[in-house]
Structure 1
Amino acid sequence: MKQLLRLALAADVTALAALMLGSWTRINGAGLTCPDWPLCRGRLVPALGDGTLWEWSHRVLAGAIAALVLALIVAAWRQRAQSRFIAPIAATIAAFFLLQLFLGAETVRVANAPYSVVLHWATAMALIASISAMAVFVAASPDVGRRDASERTAHAVAILLGVTAVAAFATMCVGAYVSSSGAGLACRSIPGCAGNVVVYTSGQYAQMIHRIAAAATLICAAAAAALGWAQPASARVRRAAALGLVLISLQIVLGLLNVVLRLPTELREAHALNAALLFLAFFVATSLAVVDATPQRWTRLSAPNPLVR
């Protein structure tokens, strides 16, 4: 199981690095420096000038992820008897990875159309979340040291954290559309849009929906953190929820600064990275809360097999 955990963590870190390199590539206008796929300008290793280095490196990282995902699935298959959750999570990881490969090629084909960018980002985050779930479910066991809690309370904490993770995911996807469609400065005033409460253009609609979704995520995050601390959630769940609350607060500050400073490149990348991290914080918190809320399900299907390493 330790090997499976190490592979999951390595795949997680590599996938997150590929995600952010892809974001950096697009933000810098280098997303189409490799206009074909899977080769780049018809070559395995092209000339790396004019931003091609970023796009080509993004594809190299995707190749590394492929190797790690394959190794992870093989290890999961060998350890499938250790938990009923390993096999379905491994299948989910494989499905999201294959879909992500297709969307990567499609994004190039449609010249970074906003809808393809959103789907590419959303699938990347779903893949990273699935790998994170594998790591959590392999490493975690019910926290027997937590304060006594009713089953209903434990489930309530898990549900609220899950709602927060979904809200963060939706906010990210709307943000990806705002960024890729050029609507980042469609609303240059705060909290209204161009000095108005009513908006008129599609870019303004997208920008205001993004802001409303961010506010909803903040409210959910605050409620989840408060419930986690007020009710007997485990220390690890409370820490993850508190981290998520800090990150969503930072995210709102970064979003406001992006508008005020007119979208500097580094700040846009920081906004994208922090969005991914805050979603993962609440996703991991949800996963841990599920483990704590359903301890009867976290038993091995069979006794450990000494031949399975």
Structure 2
Amino acid sequence: MTWTPSRALRRLTVATALATYLLVVMGGVVRVSGSGLGCGDRDQWPLCHGGLLPPLERTALIEFTHRWVAAIATGLVIALAVVVWTRYRNVRWLRNGATAIVVLFIAQIVLGAITVEFNLPSGVIMIHLANALLLLGALVWIAVTTATAGSARARPSLGTVRLAGVAVAATYVLALSGALVVDQGAGAACAGWPLCGNGFQFSAGRFADINLLHRVVAAIVVLLLGYSMVKMRRARPGDRALRLATLSVTLLIVAQVAAGALLVDQHLPAAVRGIHLALASALWACVVVSAVIARGVTSTEVAGGTRLDRSLAARVAAS
């Protein structure tokens, strides 16, 4: 008995991934704009300054929007888990993936509560973002795998598949190095770009070292991503989805580098910091998309697990 995901399930997975992306971005906007208490202290939740609607103030509107995005994302994650556990519980990878997403989401809520309760303690911001990216990556993986289930894409070479995995890991490390800069308050430690000082001097001091470390990691990861995207695209030149995904990664890399330089040049304005975070999250998601597609969807999901159907197995063996 083969498994074919319904159109409703595919749409639900995509909607949940998009809502989670917006939640990650809005969380960053709240942080960089100083809007964490835009609706008053935590005792007023779910009200905003004592009312059901926020006042027409920037911080209140930002925080209130963040709350609504969080509510929508929570509802979608719950809906996805319920649908999978009730209708697709025999599809092992999907059931396990939905369970992992629920665990990550609960952890995200707990970390968010700790962040508010203890007024942004050092280390928690970084862990909070690290968990958020894992959650987003898991949802993107499920969305892409579900959308491409049953397609006849053949796997590329083992080396290319491994390179895709390295690209995902490297992008995650890059995001964590950026989170470390935010966590330590080292964003303004290097006044120049691409290095510190006047732009061509090395760092001086611990905070500048952290900032420069992020830039060195970024340079290495950019080169690695450029190489890996070319290799994946060449592995299946006729795959339109993979071509679009790798092109998106390339464009996001360029945009992210430009945003990073502008961030330094403009002395860390909140708007550019928000854009920088949004681009970083989008880059992470697109790298995951590229890696999932590059691995090839060569199997048909069946009740109790995954196996190759005969016709597709023959294609893989012949390739």
Q: What is the TM-score when the length of structure 2 is the normalising length? A: 0.83
SS at match of 2:48: coil
More divergent stretch after superposition (224-233 vs 89-98): 224-233
Partner residue of 1:61?
69
167, 186, 190: which one aligns with 1:183? 186
84, 91, 94: which one aligns with 1:83? 91
CA distance in 2, matches of 1:194, 1:142: 54
CA distance in 2, matches of 1:35, 1:113: 20
Change over 3 Å in CA distance of 1:236–1:82 after alignment to 2: farther
Which amino acid counterpart does residue 216 of structure 2 have in structure 1?
I
Question: 2:275 aligned with 1:270, yes or no?
Answer: yes
Residues 48-107 of structure 1: CA deviation (Å, up to 9, x unaligned): 456234234323322222221111001111332563310110011011000001000011
24, 34, 46: which one aligns with 1:44? 46
Change over 3 Å in CA distance of 1:116–1:32 after alignment to 2: farther
Which amino acid counterpart does residue 262 of structure 1 have in structure 2?
H
CA distance in 2, matches of 1:86, 1:101: 23
SS at match of 1:299: strand
- 1:143 Cα deviation (Å)? 4.7
Measured on the aligned residues, the alpha-carbon RMSD in Å equals 2.4
CA distance in 1, matches of 2:121, 2:182: 11
Question: 2:25 aligned with 1:23, yes or no?
Answer: no
Partner residue of 1:125?
133
CA distance in 1, matches of 2:90, 2:147: 12
Contact 1:159–1:286, Cα closer than 8 Å, also in 2: no
Change over 3 Å in CA distance of 1:255–1:83 after alignment to 2: same
Change over 3 Å in CA distance of 1:235–1:143 after alignment to 2: farther
Partner residue of 2:113?
105
CA distance in 1, matches of 2:89, 2:169: 30
More divergent stretch after superposition (100-109 vs 27-36): 27-36
Question: 2:203 aligned with 1:199, yes or no?
Answer: yes
- Number of positions where the alignment pairs a residue of Structure 1 with one of Structure 2: 292
Change over 3 Å in CA distance of 1:193–1:72 after alignment to 2: same
Contact 1:162–1:286, Cα closer than 8 Å, also in 2: yes
Which amino acid counterpart does residue 69 of structure 2 have in structure 1?
L
* Residue segments in structure 2 that go unaligned for 5+ positions in a row: 1-5, 306-319
SS at match of 1:185: coil
Partner residue of 1:279?
284
- 1:271 Cα deviation (Å)? 0.8
Partner residue of 1:232?
236
Q: What is the TM-score when the length of structure 1 is the normalising length? A: 0.85
Question: 2:223 aligned with 1:215, yes or no?
Answer: no
Contact 2:194–2:261, Cα closer than 8 Å, also in 1: no
CA distance in 2, matches of 1:164, 1:19: 21
Change over 3 Å in CA distance of 1:43–1:192 after alignment to 2: closer
Change over 3 Å in CA distance of 1:145–1:74 after alignment to 2: closer
Partner residue of 2:170?
167
- 1:245 Cα deviation (Å)? 1.5
Residues 93-124 of structure 1: CA deviation (Å, up to 9, x unaligned): 01100000100001112212342111112211
Residues 205-236 of structure 1: CA deviation (Å, up to 9, x unaligned): 21111111111221111111221233336332
SS at match of 2:85: helix
Contact 1:114–1:177, Cα closer than 8 Å, also in 2: no
Partner residue of 2:263?
258
